[in-house]
Amino acid sequence: MGSLIAQVVSVTLMNLGSLRRRLWMSLAMVFASAVVVAILLAFLAMAKGFEATMSGAGSSQIAILMREGSSTELNSVILQDQVNLIAESAGVTRDANGPLVSPELYVIVDGIKKSTGTEANIPLRGLNKIGMAMRSNMHLVEGRMFTPGTNEMIVGEGVLREFDGFDIGKEVRFGKNLWTVVGAFSTGGNIFESELWADVKIIQSHYNRGSSYQSIRLQLENNGDLKPIEETVQREPRLNLEVQTEQEYFASQGKQLQYIATFGWIISAVMALGALAGALNTMYTSVADRAREIATLRALGFSNFSAFCGTIIEAMVLAATGGLLGSLAAYLFFDGLNTSTLGGSFTQVVFSFEMSPDLFVQGAVLALVIGFISGFFPAWRAARMPVVVAFRHAT
């Protein structure tokens, strides 16, 4: 029935043509829908960016070992002889200089955030040459490497961006110790860029750690194959260690911020309810405003289905326009926006909001749902409108 489509199209065009009469109400509906979608996208982009940062950090070629029961590096302790035992284990890659095993320290220092001017935690990682070599995507973007045995450190690009006072050549005081920044490094945008790196031995001595560490990183002989290491740990009672690939470790840390996405959906759902109330009001007003026109068309022989469709399409067009504007605003304001949040070990993880097509799809779905629901009941009323309204004398 071609005429049915023609009816729906012409009724819809007429409705949109009459929007001018309801300009402010309609704009309010567009605006409300835009705000809801923008807020949802901001949260989703934040969760997305965080997850990307965290999961990008991990390699399945690297195993990370921590004391049993410690979910993060911060509350793990590992002793020198445990490091030695692991270094001898099967399944560890060896090169001319010996096993690729990196015992690392991880302490928390304070920095001043540029954005707020307040103090926040930054992880200071102690590692040696092997540890550095193991992070294959790490490269210096400025300055030089720290000299082992000195109070020199290099800073991740994220720290440089978000915190004050870490420019190259600057001296930085942590507690009693004065450090010099000699270089800045990138690790391709992942979590290590939120860290400061220095010589592990120096940190051991400054922070009274004796010969203890907090984690061991090692390069696996076979990608992802933890078995030989796990067997060593089980066989040796002194090794109360937990073994996982670095990828698993960071993925689990990244998941912790999945609640941001959930939270975003909850917030926007609540706000969507508010937007919905306004939108329903707009659409009921639209139907009342067009009552004579609807009834006249019905008298001429236009179907009630066309009255229904015209109304619901009007609602969806308004909500979708809002959704589009909201997405655009979210994209302009948030995409690539750098921020930091508490990472798994109460340190700052610097990451970027990441807008991706699937987020826009989610935003569009939300806008269309708002449009559909706010249009449905008014459209029903439009379809049930008695035709005799066309003959009423009120104008």
> Using the rule CB under 8 A, which residue among 3, 147, 211, 356 binds another protein?
3
What is the separation of C-alpha 36 from the centre of its chain, rounded to a whole number of angstroms? 18
Q: Least distance from C-beta 395 to another protein, angstroms? A: 6
Nearest to 287 by CA among 268, 264, 315, 267: 315
Sign of the torsion formed by the C-alpha atoms of 346, 350, 355 and 358? negative
- Which residue number, 130 or 294, has a Cβ lying nearer to another protein? 294
Sign of the torsion formed by the C-alpha atoms of 102, 108, 109 and 110? positive
> Helix, strand or coil for residue 180?
strand
- Which residue number, 255 or 292, has a Cβ lying nearer to another protein? 292
Q: Least distance from C-beta 380 to another protein, angstroms? A: 14
> Using the rule CB under 8 A, which residue among 225, 230, 236, 293 binds another protein?
293
Q: Least distance from C-beta 360 to another protein, angstroms? A: 32
Q: Least distance from C-beta 268 to another protein, angstroms? A: 34
Q: Where are the beta strands (DSSP E) in 138-259?
A: 139-143, 152-156, 171-174, 177-186, 196-199, 215-219, 241-245
Q: Is 77 in the site for another protein (CB under 8 A)?
A: no
Q: Is 269 in the site for another protein (CB under 8 A)?
A: no
| Residue 349 phi, psi (nearest 5) | -105, 120
Q: Are 214 and 77 in contact (CB under 8 A)?
A: yes
Q: Is 391 in the site for another protein (CB under 8 A)?
A: yes
Nearest to 343 by CA among 264, 253, 215: 253
Q: Is 67 in the site for another protein (CB under 8 A)?
A: no
- Which residue number, 16 or 364, has a Cβ lying nearer to another protein? 16
Q: Is 17 in the site for another protein (CB under 8 A)?
A: yes
- Which residue number, 151 or 304, has a Cβ lying nearer to another protein? 304
User: Which span (44-52, 260-268, 293-301, 356-364) binds another protein, by CB under 8 A?
Assistant: 293-301
Cα–Cα distance list, 8 to 126, 130, 303, 310, 316 (Å)? 69, 70, 9, 6, 14
Q: Least distance from C-beta 30 to another protein, angstroms? A: 19
Strand partners, 173: 178
User: Which span (11-19, 45-53, 193-201, 228-236) binds another protein, by CB under 8 A?
Assistant: 11-19
Q: Are 195 and 349 in contact (CB under 8 A)?
A: no
What is the separation of C-alpha 322 from the centre of its chain, rounded to a whole number of angstroms? 23
Instruction: Tally Cβ neighbours within 10 Å of residue 332.
Output: 11
| Residue 53 phi, psi (nearest 5) | -65, -45
Q: Is 7 in the site for another protein (CB under 8 A)?
A: yes
Q: Is 117 in the site for another protein (CB under 8 A)?
A: no
| Residue 120 phi, psi (nearest 5) | -145, 160
Q: How far apart are CA 215 and CA 71, in angstroms?
A: 11
Q: Is 277 in the site for another protein (CB under 8 A)?
A: no
Q: Is 118 in the site for another protein (CB under 8 A)?
A: no
- Which residue number, 19 or 132, has a Cβ lying nearer to another protein? 19
> Using the rule CB under 8 A, which residue among 255, 284, 292, 372 binds another protein?
292
Q: Is 70 in the site for another protein (CB under 8 A)?
A: no
Q: Least distance from C-beta 55 to another protein, angstroms? A: 53
Q: Looking only at residues 302 through 361 of this chain, which bind another protein when binding is defined by CB under 8 A? A: 302-304
Q: Is 301 in the site for another protein (CB under 8 A)?
A: yes
Q: Is 298 in the site for another protein (CB under 8 A)?
A: yes
Task: Give the residues lining the site for another protein (CB under 8 A).
Answer: 2-3, 6-7, 10, 14, 17-18, 292-293, 296-304, 386-388, 390-391, 393, 395
